[in-house]
Amino acid sequence: MKNKEVEQQHIEAQQRLNEMLTENGMMKEDFKIVAIGYLSIDEEFEKGEVSNNFLTKLKVLWNEGMTLGSMGSHECEFCIDEGNYKNRGLSSSEKVLIDKENKIKYLFPEMIFHYITKHGYKPPKEFIEFVMGCLE
């Protein structure tokens, strides 16, 4: 599943939530939704080194708090393409991290760890900076 599709699903969910909140006279949620690391074989993705420190922090954040259930399963299309079917990552969990300061909701799949360590994926700079700023 691709970043844009995931964002669209969550934007629609936020809209439904907001309708409910407004009906009940409550404050609307107003976050920018940014999906990260839903890679697909027919799209280019950024590659590069990420620090161990970043990976460690991301793992800690992953293990903290609430993890979303599935929005469909994610398997690694790159491994499958390489005939590496057995070792493909497979996970359907997702995580939301909220950047309150910048009003952003980041969504990412558990597969992000596989993409980073096995395929050299490098997440966007803003996300890395946000993660590095957490847990200080």
- The residues of the shown chain that bind Zn ion, judged by CB under 5 A, are 76, 78-79, 118
Question: What is the nearest approach in angstroms of Zn ion to the Cβ of residue 64?
Answer: 25
Question: What is the nearest approach in angstroms of Zn ion to the Cβ of residue 60?
Answer: 23
Question: What is the nearest approach in angstroms of Zn ion to the Cβ of residue 73?
Answer: 14
65/120 with CB nearer Zn ion = 120
Question: What is the nearest approach in angstroms of Zn ion to the Cβ of residue 74?
Answer: 11
78/106 with CB nearer Zn ion = 78
| Sign of the CA dihedral with 107 first, then 127, 31, and 61 last | positive
Cα–Cα distance for residue pair 80/71, rounded to 1 Å: 21
30/42 with CB nearer Zn ion = 42
Q: What are the percentages of helix, strand and coil residues in the chain, rounded to 5? A: 45, 20, 40
41/68 with CB nearer Zn ion = 41
List, in order, residues 6 or more apart from 47 with CB less than 8 Å away: 119, 120, 121, 122
Say if CB 118 and CB 82 are below 8 A apart.
Answer: no
